[in-house]
Amino acid sequence: MHIFNQEIQKILCAFAELFSNPVWRNVQILAIGTILCIKKRTVTSALKVMGLGQEERFTNFHRVLNRANYNLLQGSKILIGLLIALLPKDSPLIIGIDETIERRKGKKIEAKGCYRDAVRSSKKKVVYCFGLKWISMMLIVKLPWTKRSWALPFLTVLAPSRAYNEDNGRRHKTTVDWTRQMIMLVKRWVPYRFIVLVGDGAYAAVSLALCCAGLPVPVTLISRLRLDASLYDPPPPQKAGKRGPKPKKGKRQRSLLERIADSSTKWTSIELTWYDGIKRTLEIFSGVSLWYTPGFNPVNIKWVVVRDPKGQLRTEAFFSTNIDVSARQILQWFILRWNVEVTFEELRAHLGFETQRQWSDLAIARTTPMLFSLFSLVVLMVNQLIRDGNVPVQDYAWYHKSEATFSDAIALVRRHIWKSYYYVKSSQRYESSLLTERFFNIVLDTLCYAS
């Protein structure tokens, strides 16, 4: 049985209750092996790096993914509890949500579809690919050892394609349908915390806004808003004695496009730290309206339009289902969404996302969510390992880092595992030492920072 150090064991043991004892032993080996191995994150790669390349019962490790009995949603509930502990008790839970495509093809990958590849597409050229669509919720956390906020995944679900659902007689769920289901689940897990859900334009839907605003403890939805969205005044008071249903909305307002083009619109100048980390002076105007889409009740939103007086950024609109927050706060919350994109890129670069090779439906539905969750577990391990509040970063004569990134975080965890488990201290006598300490550290650095 592999025995790991206390800091890492403390994080992993939070999930022990999900598994039987034999499965739990294999889960720990696969988790540590996935952190240590490079390139492909397959079961066999994890076994090889753990020194189990000659394990004859290797199928037991495959069964962790394709056959073992455990509840992955319960694991997400435990994980969000660990992540919430990183935040002050009175701070809001800012949850970023987005979707990404795992490029996969083959006859056995049944839930795949043909989607726009956001990684390879550009404004001039749209690239489509076959793959699996994953929707991931991430808690945005400000860590003590880095300046920027990090988006830490805790709940990731597979959204099968329309063709797959039709072939199997299932009702097709859109991205918005999945998001409504996911946010209601999260709200059951943390019923009394103030939650802010931040998504891009794909999540700007009246149905989702109504769902968030209608919860017993409402969730604040922040997203982009179309400049031609249908906005209305509040309904006028019902005349006494008038029969019939009460009106749900009043007179239609001018579109945001018309207000932007109107020279009489009053713009207010504010200074904000934008996506690139640079402080920019922008101009805004905002208001409160009823947002309406046929087939749904109107929802009350606060919107804000932003433009760059220098013309470097395009004019955009954003909205909040909480009309009491300021326009500046709406923009600050939405800017945090960019950290979700950073996490997707880090997952591809340092945790081998898209290199999994499972074929069964159950293994596919489990592997990617567990890989996403491993990103968050690495960050939690780092918090346990650091003593002085600083994470060592790569620093060379030609390359200087101002703060730690995920490559430094996973390198710290790897270094701790390599040193504490796989290596023993060399003799103090120089004549009996096979490797110098400097050479040993160079080799260890190469292993820890390998992708």
* Confidence class for position 39, pLDDT limits 50, 70, 90: confident
Which among 346, 380, 413 is the end of a domain?
346
State yes or no: pLDDT of 424 exceeds 50.
no
Of 149-153, 220-224, 383-387, least confident by mean pLDDT is 383-387
Q: What percent of the chain has pLDDT over 70?
A: 94
Q: Nearest to residue 164, comparing CAs of 111, 205, 115, 207?
A: 111
Between these two residues, 442 and 312, which has the higher pLDDT value? 312
In a domain, 32, yes or no: no
Name the H helices within 110-244.
162-167, 175-189, 206-213
Which among 319, 346, 373 is the end of a domain?
346
Of 16-25, 148-157, 401-410, least confident by mean pLDDT is 401-410
> What pLDDT, on the 0 to 100 scale, is given for residue 179?
98
Mean pLDDT taken over the chain: 90
- Region of 106 please: left (phi>0), alpha (psi -120 to 50) or beta: left
In a domain, 328, yes or no: yes
Question: Do residue 339 and residue 412 come from a single domain?
Answer: no
Between these two residues, 444 and 411, which has the higher pLDDT value? 411
Query: Structural domain of residue 439, as residue ranges?
Result: 395-448
> How many independent structural domains does the chain possess?
2
In a domain, 12, yes or no: no
Average pLDDT over residues 96-105: 94
> What pLDDT, on the 0 to 100 scale, is given for residue 147?
87
CATH number at residue 77: 3.90.350.10
In a domain, 202, yes or no: yes
Of 84-93, 368-377, 440-449, least confident by mean pLDDT is 440-449
* Confidence class for position 435, pLDDT limits 50, 70, 90: low
Which among 346, 364, 380 is the end of a domain?
346
Q: Nearest to residue 267, comparing CAs of 179, 211, 327, 181?
A: 327
Question: Do residue 271 and residue 401 come from a single domain?
Answer: no
Of 12-21, 44-53, 181-190, least confident by mean pLDDT is 44-53
Of 89-103, 134-148, 286-300, 378-392, least confident by mean pLDDT is 378-392
* Confidence class for position 1, pLDDT limits 50, 70, 90: very low
Average pLDDT over residues 346-357: 93
Question: Do residue 332 and residue 399 come from a single domain?
Answer: no
3-state SS of 106-130? CCCCCCCEEEECCCCCCCCCCCEEE
> What pLDDT, on the 0 to 100 scale, is given for residue 122?
83
Q: Which helix (H) or strand (E) holds 348?
A: helix 338-350
> What pLDDT, on the 0 to 100 scale, is given for residue 228?
95
Residue 209 to residue 221: CA distance in whole angstroms = 6
Residue 369 to residue 375: CA distance in whole angstroms = 10
Question: Do residue 329 and residue 414 come from a single domain?
Answer: no
Average pLDDT over residues 375-396: 89
> What pLDDT, on the 0 to 100 scale, is given for residue 46?
92
State yes or no: pLDDT of 371 exceeds 70.
yes
Question: Do residue 302 and residue 417 come from a single domain?
Answer: no
Q: What percent of the chain has pLDDT over 90?
A: 72
> What pLDDT, on the 0 to 100 scale, is given for residue 394?
81
- Bridge partners (DSSP) of residue 153 are 138
State yes or no: pLDDT of 51 exceeds 50.
yes
In a domain, 354, yes or no: no
Read off the pTM.
0.93
Question: Do residue 400 and residue 285 come from a single domain?
Answer: no
Question: Do residue 288 and residue 429 come from a single domain?
Answer: no
In a domain, 280, yes or no: yes
